[in-house]
Structure 1
């Protein structure tokens, strides 16, 4: 594993985020449940169908003001097809529709991923771009990079009826009209592989919006994921 690079990413997040947690910052907390269905096809093709909802429980600021009120925010439904193009790499493309406040928001997605499995760990890199279109806003363009180390808690590989830990570190560059934002995400997860078809993950999805402005927003989501392979 590229320990130096992963360590740099972790230290970067740890140093930048606390400096932005000032009295002007706002936050939101909620639940992020998702279901992901995966199917392998012929000729190294695969397809993924995913649905994810966002449920708000509390929001406020770091001055002590807050509002506790359960609120359904949105649901994302996506379909992505991928093809293996190398020993450890895949290209993928797909479409996502976001249902929010009676409006349908459309997003096209392109991805390139590299997954390297070594003895005792797995390291995944994902480079992605997406384009979001809605009826009342300018198009938004995002460019993303994510690195994900995954380590089994028993043995050298993740086998059925065993736990594992993985953490997503992601940078998102957002462009909309003349505006630019940088978002950081850290997602530590505890996973459990029930069998060859089912696995579950539970953890924290932390998102830090608008890194370079005076009033950034911190989002804390309880992530609950179920993966099913056909």
Structure 2
């Protein structure tokens, strides 16, 4: 571990700062089905120098089904528009959640496959642990704040190359109404540290959620 830390400290790290706003539309269906449509944009404001740069836009749809009290499975599709080209991604996932006294914890295992015209397919295996903590009582009610914390590990294989990305997210959320939530916070991502110079990306994450049904 000390050796790995030494390699990281001695490597030439790069830093990028930017904004990731997103809009989520959630719809529930009979028999424990639900769908989440998400539109997300990524914009850089600093990458080794102060400069605004539009990076990409993602459109995704993920459909899930609750198969047990605390378990859901799902699949979906993501379309990415970047540099005038498009990437296609297929998604599969399973999630487990449990409510404790004063907070909820969830685990998600996801696989995805990304296909683009001028690059090799990328396969990823992801694990995320997350907690949602009401800040004004034991449960979240309308007009109350909450804290959401995520930690995710993304294994990536593309051709004969492997990389690991580590993400840490801390968001302050507010339940605006029975159908709307707003979150804002920091999304930190570290990758390229195994065989290259570490890349640090720090995003201001702004997420809006709208449910087509009241809570």
Q: Same fold (TM over 0.5)?
A: yes
**Does residue 191 in structure 1 map to residue 186 in structure 2?**
no
Cα distance in 1 for partners of 2:131, 2:5 equals 21
**Does residue 229 in structure 1 map to residue 211 in structure 2?**
yes
TM-score (structure 2 length as normaliser): 0.94
Partner deviation per Cα, 1:134-161 (whole Å, 9 max, x = no partner): 0000000000000001111110011111
Written as runs of structure 1 = structure 2, the 5 A alignment for 1:80-229 is 80-229=62-211
Structure with a larger share of its residues in strand = 2
Q: Aligned in 2, Cα 1:108/1:203: closer, same or farther, shift over 3 Å?
A: same
Q: Which residue of 2 is the match for residue 52 of structure 1?
A: 40
Cα distance in 1 for partners of 2:97, 2:5 equals 28
Partner deviation per Cα, 1:161-204 (whole Å, 9 max, x = no partner): 11111111000000000000010000011111112210010000
Residue range with higher mean Cα deviation, 113-122 or 174-183 = 113-122
SS of residue in 1 equivalent to 2:155: strand
Give the 4+ runs in structure 1 shifted more than 6 A.
16-19
Cα distance in 2 for partners of 1:203, 1:91 equals 27
Q: Which residue of 2 is the match for residue 37 of structure 1?
A: 25
Unaligned runs of 5+ in 1: 1-11, 61-66
Unaligned runs of 5+ in 2: none
Q: Aligned in 2, Cα 1:140/1:198: closer, same or farther, shift over 3 Å?
A: same
| Total equivalences in the alignment | 210
Q: CA RMSD in A?
A: 1.5
Q: Which residue of 2 is the match for residue 4 of structure 1?
A: none
TM-score (structure 1 length as normaliser): 0.88
SS of residue in 1 equivalent to 2:119: coil
Q: Aligned in 2, Cα 1:19/1:38: closer, same or farther, shift over 3 Å?
A: farther
Q: Aligned in 2, Cα 1:17/1:187: closer, same or farther, shift over 3 Å?
A: farther
Cα distance in 2 for partners of 1:70, 1:217 equals 18
